[in-house]
Every structure is written in C-alpha cells, then in structure tokens.
Structure 1
Amino acid sequence: MSTPSSITNLKQEIDYTKFARILLSRWYWLAATTLLALLIAYIYLWYTPRLYSTTAYIKFEDKQPDLTAAVSLNNYSRSYTNKIATESWTFRSQQILHKAVDYIDWQVSYYLEGRVRSTDLYPKKPFEIKILKQDQEFYNKPVLISGHAKGFKIEYQLHEKNISINAAFGKPISIPGVIFFITANPVFQTSAQYAFKFNYKQEFFERMGCGFSIAEAAKFSSVAQVSKTDPNPYFAADALNAIIRVYREKDLEDKTESAKQIIDFIDKQLDNLSLTVKSSGEKLKDFKQANNFLDLSSSAQSTLSKVTQMETMNRTYDLQLLLLRQLQQQLRKNDQTISLNFNLDGAVDPLLENLIVQWNELIQERLTLLSTYKEQSKLVQEVNEKLSILRESANQNMQANILRIIKQKEFNQRELKKASTGLNNLPTQERQLFGLQRDYNINEKIFSYLSEKKLEAQIGKAAVLASAKVIDPARPNTFPISPQPASVWRMAIIIGLASGIGLIFIARLLNPYIYDKDTIESLTKTPILGMIRHFPEKIDAENSQILSIAKPKSLFAESVRSVRTNLSFVASEKSSKVICVTSEIAGEGKSFVSINLASSLALIDKKVIFIAADLRRSKVHRTFNIKSKLGLSSYLSHQSELSAIIQSSGQENLDLIISGQVPPNPAELMYSPRLPELIHELKQRYDYILFDTAPIGLVSDALPLIRISDINLFVIRTGKSKISAAYIPQRIANEYQLHNTFIILNDYRMEGLYGSYYSTRYSDNYYGYYYADNNHHGAGYYTDDRPQPWWKKVLKWKG
C-alpha cells in the first residue's frame, strides 16, 4: 500500500465514459425536457401564422435611343450598386405604394374561420360582395357569415353588442357606413364559417410596404433581387408585381419628363408664333395687293436675306441665354439632378456637359449616403464640398458662355444696323414692304425651327425605354419561410436536450455531497485506504448483525476484506497497531465501519479489541447486547479497572470495551493519563486496538487519540458527507504532523448523476484500484449481486 508521501503526484483526466454515464443516469430528464420542447414546438407551429416570401428579378439598363443633340434625357452614369441602393428608396416611396394599391383588389378581404386562426383566402372568393354605397367612415371589423338553406346569416359586433342579420343572396344589406349585396360562388359551402372585412386603402398601403426588400442578385451586377414577404403567398406575388409595374411606369415618366417639358414649352411658343406668323402674312398680302407690289428688288432681296439671318441668330442667342440662366438656378441646390432641356449650338460646351454629369453622379451618391447617415456626417459634408467646387466651376463656365453670347449678339446687332443703312435709299413703299417681309420671314423661320425641335422631342419621348426590365416576375411561393417546421423541430430537440443537460449540471452544481473516490482525490492528497460497498438489504437500527460475518459471500463483505488487506500494509513494522476511526459528523458510519473491520480482522486470527471511545452517544453496547454500564468512561474516571471493562463479543479473537455511562466531562476524560496506560496495557495483549471515537467535526474528544494512534481512519459516507469533510484529514495531518492518516469511503454505490467525470492516475503507476471500485457484476460470486433488467444493462445505469 502506498504511503501518503508516495502518492501525492496524481493526475486527473476526463473520462468520457463517466461523462456519458452521468447523462444516461437521468435519461428520463432528457426525455421529459425533449418531449416538453417538442410539445411547445407543436403548439408554436400550430398557432403561429405562416410567412411566405416571393421574389422577382429586374435588370437595370441605361439604353438610350439614338437622338439628335436637340433633346437630352435625364441620364447620368453611376455604378449599378449605387443605383440599386438608391432605387430601393424609390420602391418604398409613398407615391409608388399608393399607386400600386390600385392594381390590387383591396376593398374587401375574405377569410375562412378556423378553430385556432383565420385564413386569408386572397385571391379566392367563396362569395362576391358588391358595394352599392360606402361612406368615408364605415365598419372596419371582421363580419362573420355562414350559409343556411334559405340564404345566409351575418354576425358582427357594434358597441359591444352582437348583431345578427339573416339575408338572401342578391338582396341589399346595410351595416354602418356600407350598403352592399352578396352573391354566392360555386365554392361557397354552407357548412363552413367565413368572414369578410371592408378595408381602408391606408391598410393595404402599409401592407404593401411591409416585408419589401431589394438587393443585388450578384455583386457588382445590374440585376436586382426584389422580395416581398406576407402571410398570403398570392398577395405577396401580386403586390410585388404591382410595385414593380408602378416603378417602371414612374421611371419611364421621369425619363421623358425633359422631353415633355420641351414639348410643353414649344407648344406655348408656337401658340403665340402661329398668330404672329398669320398676322404678318396677312399684312404682307394686303400690302402687296393694295400697292400692286409683286416682290422686292434684287438689292432689297439680298439685304432682306442678311437681316433675316441676323434677326434669327438674335432669337437663338436669347434662347441660349435663357437655358444658361435656368442651369444657374438649378445649381443653387444640392438635392436635385440637372437635365438639359435644350442643347442649342454653342449654348453648352463639352466642359459644361462633363461638369453636369459629375454633378449628377455626386447628387446620387449624396442621396445614397443620406439613407444611412445624417446631414451633418463627415461623408455627406465631403460630398457637399465637392458639389460646391463643381457649382463654382460650372458657374464660371456658364458666366463665360453668357458673356460670349452677349458679345456675339452685340456684334450681330452692329452688323444688323450696317445692313439696314442701305434701306434708306429705297422708295418708301419698298421700305414698308421690306419691313413686312422681314417680320414674316423671321417669324416663319422661328416657327419652323421650333416645330422641328418639337418633332425631335416627340420622337425622343416615344423612343425612351424604362431602365428596369423584368427578367422574372414574382410568382406565388407556397413554401413558408417562417416558421419552417424542419428547423423548428430540430431546434426543439436541441433545446430539449440542452435543457435536460442543463438540469443535470445544475443538480450537480447544487449538490454539496461526496459520492465517489475521484471527487475525494480531487479535493485532498490524503490517500483512500478503501471503499466499503453499500449493502442492498435493510440494516436494523442497532446494527445487531455484523454483516461481514453474517454475509461472508456478499460484495459488501469483500469490500471490508479489501480494506483489511490494505490496512495490513500500513505501519507494518509495528507488532500491535492502534487504530483511531472518526468522521466529520454523526451518521457517516464510523461505528459501522469499525465493528465490521474489527470482526474481519478477528477472522484472520488476529487478537482484536474494539473500544467505543465516543463517550457522548455510543450505541455499540446495543449492537452486542451488553447490559453492563462499566466501560471506558468508568476506567478513565478511576471507577473501574481494566479487567472489569473488557467484554467478550461472542466472536473468537474479538473483545470490546463499551463507552460506559455518559460523563459530564467527556472531552477532559480523553486527556486523562490513564488513556496512554490503557493503550500500553492493551498492546501487550492484542494485535489491533480499534477506537471508535466521537465525530471530530462536532466535538474535540477524538484529538488526544488521533495524536497517539498508529493509524487514523477518517470515514466519509457516500451521499451523506459534504465536500468540506474531504479537507479535514489533511488539515489534521498537517497540524499534528501525522503520517498514517487515511480515508475510508463508506456506503459506496454507483451514483451516475453525482459521480465525478474524472479518472485519477498516479505518476508512480499507482492506480488506486480497490476491490469494490468496479462497475462489473459479480457473475454469481456475491450473494448481494442483484440481477438487472435488460434496459439497465443497455444504458449501463444502475439504480
């Protein structure tokens, strides 16, 4: 047997077999928590409304028709990633959603009433409701409807009162705010319970925007994935298609807005010019008829051509100045893109066009940032600074163009004056004809010019395509995304098992008791002398049966013999050994262990004397049915001699001394000088002297004996002794420099729940094996080896 000094280098390793045994010891906890979790999952799946998702794919393209330079549509270059991020806010705008509702049948909702929840029947209609009259305020709660032989019955609540109306199909019905009639469809069932509800448009507007999302289908691609979730898969598909349809219509409208503005502007100019051209033409005709003039002279014709050309140029310069001043006004704000309504020759140079393109890109970048950051954020302020720089550069460019056009107009005016000086030499009537002809030619040219521009704008508008092309429209997806039964069941099983495992480890965490040797070895360096097995049968309160003798073939008796064998190797140099047996508190079985160990030693022809040294509440005299009151207390108090207190146990080689009468000063008696005399005297007669002392955790009576004993045995009982008990033997051994202190684990039985999941190994190849430390059955060798049911053998779990 290893001594305490030789087995201090221990190593504990996780034993996964023990870990599994801990879990299987409470398999019914795991089963209960798993079943409970599955029940909760079933209720959750039954009561939770399904949520469906549908998806459509659209492709953003910036194709532009081959138009003349006269019309420039709202087009600017930017990455598709930014475009998709920006357009996501357009999709969610109130304007889009409000218009999209008009493409949905939103006025009446139809439901099928179930025992747990109502089911939205959209787009199916078991019956048709035709509204005859509807006020702005109307009844907006579900109305129950059930069929019968003569028609149907509707029920609803108004001011906490139940109202019931029997009606026939096709007959007008009135409820607060609505007059309507109902026609039955072939799918209408009189046995079913239906419901319907009149909706406000605002309800569907909110429902349309709920669960909407847009993202790139692939990184840096021009294809967007547009999704919509809703409890009704058919409504989700219809709503998503309606939103995309309205978006494309608005996109087309926005892209043709520039051409529309051109056409509207030209129409106003043409309305004014048509009257002017007509008036000037009539004046010219009347003048020629009144004065018999057919045409101007050749010199006057030449001058008229020059003057007409210069006047037309002046009108063009005026239009260019108007365009540039409009651009200056648009550049004053940071929240709008710029569209070039006209691009007349010389009005916008390539540099200004490039600046406007950059301006539009930064505006889009700014809008994207504002969807995430605040106006005062650093990123937005950086974009604002870039816009300021572009605004300054564009203003300088436009101011230079304005000055250039003004100078060209002034030069043209001077040339016009020079050309007009030659008219003074013409006759009066010819000069008058010249003026009328000049006005007519100028107005006609401007009219023709504007008509040409209008035609170009109309062609451009007709050729514009929406930038979003539907690749794959939304279709109803009848597989719910939430809750997903497979995921819910899987999670329920995981949570159930985890909860059961959690309960097991909480129970272990709250357990204050010791159940196996590995727990003791993890707490103290004091070696374990052996483990005495739990006796499966009932033991009487007086321990009248010495079980190691009464049941010699039991597993219990074998475990006592293993302790006896180990004990023979301790203090082997001594011919007579003094053994002190104690524990922390009462009830841990120190008397039981002492009696059975003493009787087992007596069986191998060793002279043994058992001394009941617990002077406060010893019961050993009851075990051996001794009536005499003379005992250790009588001897220590000089009331009796040694020969008077030694009693025969009835077993060969085993004598005993009972505790005697309870003295008023038991602790002081244990310090009596007669105690060492007693031990000296007994060593002459016996091989083993066993003292069964008082619990050392409660009283100090055992300390004198512990200090003078050859071997100190500290009893720890499975399921009774607390963890604190494991520290006591080592503390006493260190305090009194004791070298032969050992622990006996009493009442040991396999306890799967509270057992340690560590196995202990020693560096000197000492494995701490004991006869009672195994998980195997006796295979018939032991009389107390119980046969186990097959299911316990499968689980390797013992009750």
Structure 2
Amino acid sequence: MENQINNNFTLNEEDNVDLKQEIRRYLRYWPWFALALVVTLVSAYVYLRYAPRIYETYSKIKILDESEGLELPTSAFVFNRSNINLENEIEIITSYRIMERVVRKLNLNTSFYEEGTIQTSQIDELPLIFDQIIKPDSIVSYLSYKLTVEDEGFQITNLKTEKTFTFKEHSTYSSNHNLPFNVELDSVTPLSQIIDKGFIIKFAPIKSTSLSLKNKIKVESIGDLSDLLKLTMKGESKELSEKILDTLMTTFDNDGIRDRKLVYQRTVDFIDKRFEFLAGELDSIEIDQETFKQKNNIVDIATDAELGLEQRAQSEEELFKLENQLTLSELLENSLNTNNESDLLPANIGIQGIFQEL
C-alpha cells in the first residue's frame, strides 16, 4: 500500500516537472507571439478601415394564390398548405427577362464610383447633373471614364484610350466632344463639397449587366408552409440595392398582371369567336329548317293548329255572311218574278255586298 502511494506521488512530481519545462521552452519565443498578435490586430484594423463596406438588403414578397376561393377544398386546404408552386415563382423572379427589364428601367448598365484616399466605392448617382447620350442598346463593350472636379471646370479621361478632355465653367454642354454623356454642376450640391474629388463612370452591355444582377440576387422561400419569398442582395450602396429590389418586385407584379390580362383577353376573344360561330350555325340551321318545311310541306303542329283554328273561325264567319246574302238574293228574285210591274219592291232587305260590287 505504501509503495503504491509513493509511486503516485512520483508520477505527479514528474508531471509537474514536464509542464514547467514546456512553459520554459515556449516562453523563450514570447517576442514572436507578441509580434504576431500586433500584426493580427493591425491587419484587422486596416481591413475594417479600408475594405469596402458590403451591405445586405432584403425584402419580402407574398405570392397570391389565384385559385383561392374558386376551387373546392382539397387536402392541401385541410392541412393549411398552399397550392402555390414557389419554385416556379422563384424561377420567374430570377429570370433573365425580368432582370433585363429592371436593368433598363434603372439604367443599371451605367454605374458610378467615388474615388477615396484608399478605396473606390460605388455610389447611387453622381452629385452632378448627368445626361447620358449613348443609348443602352448601343453599348456593346465596356467603357470607363474618370471625372475630376477642379476649381475652373471638369477634367474627363477615357481610361481605355487615356485621352483627356478639359471643360471650363463646370459644364460639358457648351463644348463639342464625342463623350457618351454630358455633366454639369448641380446647383444643390456646393462646389466646395466635391472639389478635387474623382468619380468613375462605367458603361456595360445590357446582357452582361442583367446576368451579373441575376447572380447578385438570392430568392428563397420562408418556411415550408409559407407563401412568402425573401429577396436578398449584397452591395456597396444601400440606396441602390433598395431601388433594385423595389423595382424588381414591381416588375414581377406587373409581369403577372400582364400575363393575367393576356390570358383573360385570349379567353374573351375565344368566346367571342365561338359565339359568332355558333350564331352563324344557328342561323344556318333555322334557314335550312324553314327551307326543308317549305319543300316538304311540313308545319309545326302546335303553332299551326292554333293558327288554323283562327283562320277556320274567320272562314266560317265569311261563309255565313255569303250564304245570308245568297238567300236574300233568291228572295228578291222570286219577288221580282211574281209581282206586277206596278207593285213596290222591298227596301233595305240586307243585300250589301252585291250592290257594292256592282
């Protein structure tokens, strides 16, 4: 028992000795550890200070079920599940057709950047009056221009050809040039705020800009039973990202409205054409029926029976009148044959039609 205690004590003493040796071994390199810590902190500060700030902007959109209230309850309705295919809606939102409309509406193939001491960051718009001359569809290659605001005017350099243009009085409208844009000092922005600042103006083709925007926007559903979609975009300019997402949702909504109107219009056109066809068919059938009746002397029993009764009553009445006139005529003839020449003839015995015809 005593030997076991002594052995344990010896092991613990050896462990303590090993730990101290390890500490002494690495303690000799403490200047390197301190230097690595300082370098790490300085690098983190420089990165956070001068790295471009990327903002994440997101928005939510609700997809409406067009069949809601029009169909009988199904199992999806009983278990509170949506009938909307969100995968299809996501594909429509991120389609090239929708992205191209957003690019054209916001003129995203023209971008602006502000040069800083260390970095160049993207901005929503220039603090100047900017008038683009070149049409978006005419941009077939990438173009870049640097605009520097000086005391007496603007200096614009084509970064591809390195050709420089100088404009006085802070306006390009009064000079002849072949630049794809015009700029002028804005009366709202004081010159002192933008003096000696540099701005980059870039032009890109519509197709490449649309594909780039498609890659920047992420669309995902919120939950399994939800009909909400979350649109997320990362960018250097919060204002520009908000504009893009708002325009994207509006374009998607208008696209759905346009599609529904087209479907309704096609349905109405089909019904109108079908109605005209059926009306023509009915008219043709009635004409053929009337012709067939005339050729085969066929009448409608119910209608013709009622018409026959009326005509028969009128015929019997006319026959009775004619027979009455005929009887009176015979009496008058007998009277003429039997009476003498000096006898008077009967007056107003009721013979009218005969004398009228005479």
Q: TM-score range by the shorter chain?
A: 0.5 to 0.7
**CA deviation profile, 1:256-287 (whole Å, cap 9, x unmatched):** 4432221232344567789x69xx8xxxxxxx
User: What's 1:11 paired with?
Assistant: 11
**Residues 192, 199 of structure 1: alpha-carbon distance in 2 compared, 3 angstrom cutoff:** same
**Residue 233 of structure 2 is aligned to residue 233 of structure 1:** no
Quick one: which amino acid aligns to residue 243 of structure 1?
L
Quick one: which amino acid aligns to residue 42 of structure 1?
Y
- In the superposition, the TM-score normalised over structure 2's length comes to 0.62
Report the CA distance between 1:237 and its aligned residue: 1.4
**Residues 173, 125 of structure 1: alpha-carbon distance in 2 compared, 3 angstrom cutoff:** farther
**CA deviation profile, 1:524-579 (whole Å, cap 9, x unmatched):** xxxxxxxxxxxxxxxxxxxxxxxxxxxxxxxxxxxxxxxxxxxxxxxxxxxxxxxx
**Identity across matched positions, percent:** 17
Report the CA distance between 1:54 and its aligned residue: 0.9
**Residues 79, 213 of structure 1: alpha-carbon distance in 2 compared, 3 angstrom cutoff:** farther
Report the CA distance between 1:9 and its aligned residue: 9.0
**Residues 138, 182 of structure 1: alpha-carbon distance in 2 compared, 3 angstrom cutoff:** farther
User: What's 1:391 paired with?
Assistant: none
User: What's 1:425 paired with?
Assistant: 297
**CA deviation profile, 1:435-493 (whole Å, cap 9, x unmatched):** xxxxxxxxxxxxxxxxxxxxxxxxxxxxxxxxxxxxxxxxxxxxxxxxxxxxxxxxxxx
Report the CA distance between 1:94 and its aligned residue: 0.8
- In the superposition, the TM-score normalised over structure 1's length comes to 0.30
Report the CA distance between 1:213 and its aligned residue: 1.8
User: What's 2:210 paired with?
Assistant: 205
1:141-220 paired onto structure 2 within 5 Å: 141-159=143-161, 162-168=162-168, 169=171, 170-175=173-178, 178-185=179-186, 186-187=188-189, 188=191, 189-220=194-225
Preserved CA contact (<8 Å) 1:146 1:152 = yes
Measured on the aligned residues, the alpha-carbon RMSD in Å equals 4.3
Q: Alignment partner for residue 264 of structure 1, among 253, 263, 269?
A: 269
User: What's 1:35 paired with?
Assistant: 38
Quick one: which amino acid aligns to residue 35 of structure 2?
A
**Residue 262 of structure 2 is aligned to residue 251 of structure 1:** no
1:141-540 paired onto structure 2 within 5 Å: 141-159=143-161, 162-168=162-168, 169=171, 170-175=173-178, 178-185=179-186, 186-187=188-189, 188=191, 189-268=194-273, 424-425=296-297
**Residues 174, 254 of structure 1: alpha-carbon distance in 2 compared, 3 angstrom cutoff:** same
Quick one: which amino acid aligns to residue 136 of structure 1?
S
Quick one: which amino acid aligns to residue 119 of structure 1?
S
Quick one: which amino acid aligns to residue 254 of structure 2?
E
Q: How many residues align?
A: 278
**CA deviation profile, 1:604-628 (whole Å, cap 9, x unmatched):** xxxxxxxxxxxxxxxxxxxxxxxxx
**Residues 107, 212 of structure 1: alpha-carbon distance in 2 compared, 3 angstrom cutoff:** closer
Report the CA distance between 1:222 and its aligned residue: 2.2
Separation in 1, partners of 2:27, 2:261: 75
Preserved CA contact (<8 Å) 1:173 1:180 = no
Quick one: which amino acid aligns to residue 229 of structure 2?
A
**Residues 14, 55 of structure 1: alpha-carbon distance in 2 compared, 3 angstrom cutoff:** farther
Matched position secondary structure for 1:210: helix
Task: List runs of 5+ in structure 2 lacking aligned partners.
Answer: 300-358
Matched position secondary structure for 1:103: helix
Preserved CA contact (<8 Å) 1:173 1:181 = no
Report the CA distance between 1:32 and its aligned residue: 1.3
Preserved CA contact (<8 Å) 2:53 2:236 = yes
Report the CA distance between 1:31 and its aligned residue: 1.6
Separation in 2, partners of 1:32, 1:129: 50
Quick one: which amino acid aligns to residue 55 of structure 2?
Y
User: What's 1:126 paired with?
Assistant: 127
Q: Alignment partner for residue 83 of structure 1, among 82, 85, 101?
A: 85
Separation in 2, partners of 1:36, 1:120: 30
Matched position secondary structure for 1:174: coil
Matched position secondary structure for 1:49: coil
**Residues 31, 173 of structure 1: alpha-carbon distance in 2 compared, 3 angstrom cutoff:** farther
User: What's 2:339 paired with?
Assistant: none
Q: Alignment partner for residue 50 of structure 1, among 46, 50, 53?
A: 53
Quick one: which amino acid aligns to residue 296 of structure 2?
N
Preserved CA contact (<8 Å) 1:127 1:184 = yes
Report the CA distance between 1:60 and its aligned residue: 2.4
1:568-587 paired onto structure 2 within 5 Å: none
**CA deviation profile, 1:386-420 (whole Å, cap 9, x unmatched):** xxxxxxxxxxxxxxxxxxxxxxxxxxxxxx98x95
**CA deviation profile, 1:699-742 (whole Å, cap 9, x unmatched):** xxxxxxxxxxxxxxxxxxxxxxxxxxxxxxxxxxxxxxxxxxxx
1:744-783 paired onto structure 2 within 5 Å: none
**CA deviation profile, 1:570-616 (whole Å, cap 9, x unmatched):** xxxxxxxxxxxxxxxxxxxxxxxxxxxxxxxxxxxxxxxxxxxxxxx
Matched position secondary structure for 1:106: coil
Preserved CA contact (<8 Å) 2:146 2:198 = yes
Separation in 1, partners of 2:158, 2:69: 63
Task: List runs of 5+ in structure 1 lacking aligned partners.
Answer: 70-75, 281-303, 312-415, 428-799
Higher Cα radius of gyration: 1
**CA deviation profile, 1:748-785 (whole Å, cap 9, x unmatched):** xxxxxxxxxxxxxxxxxxxxxxxxxxxxxxxxxxxxxx
Matched position secondary structure for 2:53: coil
Preserved CA contact (<8 Å) 2:139 2:203 = no
Report the CA distance between 1:56 and its aligned residue: 0.9
Separation in 2, partners of 1:217, 1:38: 39
Separation in 2, partners of 1:223, 1:194: 40
Separation in 2, partners of 1:215, 1:54: 14
User: What's 2:353 paired with?
Assistant: none
Separation in 2, partners of 1:101, 1:57: 20
